[in-house]
Every structure is written in structure tokens, then in C-alpha cells.
Amino acid sequence: MLMSFLHPFYLIAAVLLLISLTLLQGLVEQLRNRAKSFFFLTLFIVAVNPLVNHRGTHILFYFRENPVTLEALMNGFLMALSLLAILILFISYNFVLTPGRFLYLFSKILPQTALLAMLTLRFVPLLIRRLDEIKIVQKSKGMTITEGRVKDRAKNGVSLVQILLTWSLEEALQTADSMKSRGYGVTKRSSYERYTFTKNDIISIVLLLVLFAGCLIGLFNGYGNLTLYPDLESTSMGGAEWSVFVLFLLYIGFPLLVEGREQFRWRYLN
Amino acid sequence: MARSSIYSGLIVTGMLGLLIFSIIYFPEHYLMISFLFIGLTLIPFLLRFEMRKITGKELVLLAMLSAVAAVSRVPFAAFPSIQPTTFVIIVSALVLGAESGFMIGAMAALVSNLFLGQGPWTPWQMYSWGLIGFLAGILRNTWFMKHLWGKALFGLITGFAFGWIMNLWFIIGFLGEITFSSVFAYYATSFYFDLAHAVSNVFFILVFSSGWIKILQRFKRKYGLLAT
């Protein structure tokens, strides 16, 4: 959706809706931390587009004898907004879809891969702790990764990882044996389920599908997309365009409505 | 072998068909098509892994190597794009084979992103690192991978290839007009990062690969995986 509706009004509305969603979810800190890198990435896309792309009829000015066109500027602006919306969406995504839920989703389709991912996920904090211990011990022997030439630091870094490798592979044999003694692979594995499918979920899915289909129909009839070439279209919107816009707003704003309803009920109706 | 090559043939032709179809019918939706593309490439590998009967020891070995590959980025946090993850994936694949190499690469990417935050780049990283592991495993018995210079050359090429594939999701999706000059400009800005990755791969392979391969072979025997 965010990559297809390349129209300034749609995308600005989407960015605003998604920012309010992250704010409502209490992700102010994450948003603030990334604001700077988001800003420069957006600026980069807006700036690069007119420099490499000279298509279009509305020439604004010449930069080193190359025409800078309004179309290219608009194109860069749209692309940047689209990327911005997706990046903001992922802040909220990472908050909602925790690793546990992510693996739960995949354990239905790919149980063995999900188990492998879960084991790997569990080893990562363990290995980071071990790496710290190794670092301290090796530092007393004069091996450091914070000083000296890049070559030596890189060499020391991999030496640390090598110690980690032998230590952990040795230890992991125990994990494997303990899995075997508890009967791994004897029968089909069962899994613990925490999530149930409720009536609300079905209603949400149906609503989202209807909105999605409405948006797609609008898109295929040429709404919600600013024509840049050969002639730059005006950004103003006519009658039918507004109804597609409303569908789009409802689709993007759906999580905001759900989240807002929950918070309202929690704060005011309790 | 015969059956798997029929499958790979089908997949390759299917992908080509999908590519041509997408260029004709959806010229403006490169990014979505590319995600479909990546997804469809990942699925056969994951399904094959699902269908294999796998022992606890093999599972733990794969998980531990993926975790080591993911964590090996930690001591290198100070330098951008110098990290031994690619090196760990290559040597593991050289010892354990193509399928294990693919799983280790894909898992390392997935899990490190579960910690660092997912993004549209996750499937691309899974794909690139998985592919590096897969290729290293496929080529492990060829004459040039038996030599140290062959492995170093492989590290050099894959170092650049990784960056080039990772550039694609951004270019396809967000650079707008895909022209030769815009793509060239973008690749030129990433050149030094790719170079650093490639050179560090070569360095790690030259200095550490024989030692690491020895270690992994010992553990392969210890885990009872001599037959594979």
C-alpha cells in the first residue's frame, strides 16, 4: 500500500497516522533515536533524484548544465515519504511482533526452522556474556580490540570469536545430550499455544480485507497515484478520488483505531 | 541428485517467468515483486530443511554456529562493514556442506535482526548470507576451494556480492527512476564499505581459515556427523 499510493496527500497522511500510532504505543524514545538517521535518508533521496534523473518538462533551474525538473523533485519527495512511512511502520512492527510472537507464527508452517531459530535466539545472549568473560581474561594477557592498528584489532577480534567457538561447541554437546535424554525426536513435537482466535480477530481480518480490496480497485482505476510523466498531474483531488482517499486512511489508520479504542476503554471506562 | 536438479531447473524457469511477467504487467511495483522473488527463493531451502529428519545434535550444532556467526559482529561494532560473520558462514559451509551453510547464513541474519530490529532488509540479508553459505558448500570439493588462494578469492567476490545484493532493495524500492547513472552513483557511494567487507573477508580467510576448518572438522566428528 505504502509503496503503491505515490501521491503526496496520501503519503503525508500515512506518515502522520503512523507517527500517531507509534506515539500512542508509547514508542517516543525509539522514534526520537531514529529521527536523525530518518531525516538524512529522506534528504538523501530527495536530493539524489533530481541530480540523476532529468526527465520531465517543468525545468526549475540548471545545475552544472543539467536540468533540475519539478517532476524529478516530486518523484524524490514521494519516494522519500514512502520509505519514511515504511521505516516508521517497522518501529511499531518491532514493538507489536515480539520475537516470541514472530516464532509462534512460523512454528505453524515451519516447525523445525522455528525450533532452530529459537535455539539460536537463546544462544545469542549466552554467547554475548561468554564473549565478555573471554574479553576480560584475554585483556589481562594484553590482547585488546580497542587499541592498536586495525589489522591487529581485527585479528584479536576473530581470536576472541575462535575461543568462543570452541568453548561453546564443547558446551553445546551437553544441550544436545539433554535434549536427547528428554526424548527429542521420539514422537511428534507438541507446542505450547498462548494465542487464541477470537471473534474480534475475524471481524478485523474481514474489515481489513474489504478496505484492502477497495484501495486496490481504486488504484487500478488510476486513483491515488500522481502521474509524473509525460505530463505532471495536478495534486488536487476530485470526487471519486476522495472516497479512495478515505478507504486508504481507514486502512492505514486501522491499527490506530484499535489501539486508541483499547486505551480509551482502559483509561476512561474502567 | 537428478530429481533435485529438475526441481532447481523448475524454480529457475519459474523465477524467470515471474520476472518477465512482472516487467510486462507491473512495471511500477519493483519492490513488491522483488520481495516475492526473495521469498520464493528462500522457501524451497526451508522446506527441504523441514523435510529432513534431523537429530538433536545436528540441530544444536547448526544453532550454535548461527549464533556464533551472529554474535561475531559484536567485537567489531566499532568498524562499519568489517565483521567476521561472512567468514564464519563460509568456513562452516566448507566443513558442513551447502544446505547447512544456507541455514547457518539465513539464521544468522534472521536472529541478529530479531535483536537489532527487523526491517525490509531482513529477507535480503537472509538471502545474501544464505546464498554465500550455499555457494561455499557447493564449491567445497572443487580444486580451487582446496587452495587457500581460492578461498580468499571466494571471500573477495562474496564480500562485494553481499553489498551489491543488499543495495538492491533500496535501489529497487526508493531511488525512483532506475537508470544506469543513478544505479552507478549509488554503487559508487557504497564501494568503500563493500571493499572493506571484501578485504576483511580475505584477511580473515588467509589468517584463520585453516585453523577454523580444523576445529570444525574435529567437532563434526565429535558430534557424530562423520557420515554427512
Q: Which contiguous run of DSSP H or E holds residue A68?
A: strand A66-69
Please say if the pLDDT value at position A177 is more than 90. no
What is the pLDDT averaged over residues A76-104? 83
Residues in chain B within 8 Å Cβ distance of A55 = 177
Give the per-residue pLDDT at B226.
54
Separation CA B105–CA B65 (nearest Å): 9
d(CA A257, CA B197): 45
DSSP for residue B76: G
Cβ-defined contact of A4 to B28 (cutoff 8 Å) = yes
| B72/A158 Cβ within 8 A | yes
- How far from B60 is each of A76, A118, A196, B96, CA to CA, in Å? 47, 11, 30, 13
Q: Does B221 touch chain A (CB under 8 A)?
A: no
Q: What is the mean pLDDT of residues B131-141?
A: 88
- Contact criterion met (CB < 8 Å) for A117 and B107: yes
Distance from CA of A14 to the nearest CA of B (A): 17
Q: Count the residues in chain A.
A: 270
Respond yes or no on whether ipTM tops 0.85: no
B211 and A127 in contact by Cβ < 8 A?
no
Taking CA–CA distances from A98, the nearest residue in chain B reads B114
Mutate one of B45, B104, B111, B199 to test the A interface: name it (highest A CB count within 10 A): B111
Mutate one of B30, B45, B60, B62 to test the A interface: name it (highest A CB count within 10 A): B60
Nearest CA in chain A to B29: A4
- Is there a contact between B71 and A164 if contact means CB atoms under 8 Å apart? yes
B51 or A234, higher pLDDT: B51
Contact predicate B38/B122, CB 8 Å: no
Q: Which residues of A touch B159 (CB under 8 A)?
A: none
Tell me how close the Cα of B48 comes to any Cα of chain A, in angstroms. Answer: 10
Q: How far is CA B189 from the centre of its chain?
A: 22
Q: Please report the pLDDT score of residue B213 as a whole number.
A: 92
* Interface with B, mutate which of A2, A11, A48, A52 (most B CBs under 10 A): A52
pLDDT exceeds 70 at position B152: yes
With 0-12 CB in 10 A as exposed, 13-18 as middle and 19+ as buried, what is B199? Answer: middle
Q: Do A161 and B84 count as a contact with CB atoms less than 8 A apart?
A: yes
Q: Indicate the average pLDDT of chain A.
A: 82
**CA nearest to A2, candidates B174, B34, B23:** B174
Reported as a pLDDT band with limits 50, 70 and 90, residue A261 is: confident
What average pLDDT score do residues A49-78 get? 74
Task: Report how far residue A151's alpha carbon sits from residue B33's, in angstroms, rounded to the nearest whole number.
Answer: 41
For the segment A14-52, what is each residue's pLDDT rounded down to a tens digit? Answer: 888 888 888 888 888 888 888 888 888 888 878 777 777
**Distance of alpha carbon A54 from alpha carbon B181, whole angstroms:** 11
CB contact under 8 A, A119 and B28: no
Region of B83 (left: φ > 0; alpha: ψ -120 to 50; beta: rest) is beta
Q: Count CB-CB contacts under 10 A for residue B41.
A: 17
pLDDT higher than threshold 90 for residue B87: yes
pLDDT-based confidence at residue B86 (cuts at 50, 70, 90): very high
| DSSP helix/strand/coil, B52 | coil
Q: Give B179's contacts in chain A (Cβ within 8 Å).
A: 52-53
Confidence of residue B1 (pLDDT cuts 50, 70, 90): very low
What per-residue confidence (pLDDT) applies to B8? 63
Put simply, the answer to whether B64 touches A123 (Cβ < 8 Å) is yes
The predicted structure's pLDDT at residue A247: 86
One-letter amino acid for residue A150 of the chain: V
Q: What is the pLDDT of residues B195-214, one digit of tens each?
A: 989 999 999 999 898 899 99
The winner for highest mean pLDDT among A49-58, B31-40, B74-83 is B74-83
pLDDT in tens, A112-168: 888 888 889 889 889 999 999 998 998 888 877 777 787 888 888 888 889 999 999
Contacts of A115 in chain B (CB under 8 A): 59
Cβ–Cβ of A158/B63 closer than 8 Å?
no
Q: Which residues contact B85 (CB under 8 A, 6 or more apart)?
A: B69, B70, B72, B73, B108, B112, B129
A63 — phi, psi (to 5°)? -115, 110
Question: Averaged over B13-28, what is the pLDDT?
Answer: 64
Q: Does B59 reach chain A within 8 Å, measured CB to CB?
A: yes
Rounded CA-CA distance B33/B27 in Å is 10
Percent of chain A with pLDDT over 70: 90
**Interface-testing mutation among A116, A155, A168, A178, with chain B (most B C-beta atoms within 10 A):** A116
Q: Is the pLDDT of residue B26 over 70?
A: no
Q: Which of residues 122-161 of B touch A (CB under 8 A)?
A: none
A268 CA: distance to closest CA in chain B (Å): 33
Q: Is B49 on the interface with A (CB under 8 A)?
A: yes
- Is there a contact between B60 and A82 if contact means CB atoms under 8 Å apart? no
Whether residue B75 and residue A160 make contact (CB cut-off 8 A), yes or no, is: yes
Mean pLDDT of chain B: 80
Q: Quote the DSSP letter at residue B40.
A: H
Identify the structural domains of chain B with CATH numbers, from first to last.
1-51 (no CATH), 55-222 (1.10.1760.20)
Q: Inter-chain contact A185–B117, Cβ cutoff 8 Å?
A: no
Here the cell at position A105 is: 507464527
Q: What is the pLDDT of residues B31-46, one digit of tens each?
A: 666 677 777 777 878 8
pLDDT reported for residue B2 = 47
Asked if the C-beta of B180 comes within 8 angstroms of chain A's C-beta atoms, the answer is no
Least Cα separation, residue B143 to chain A (angstroms): 27
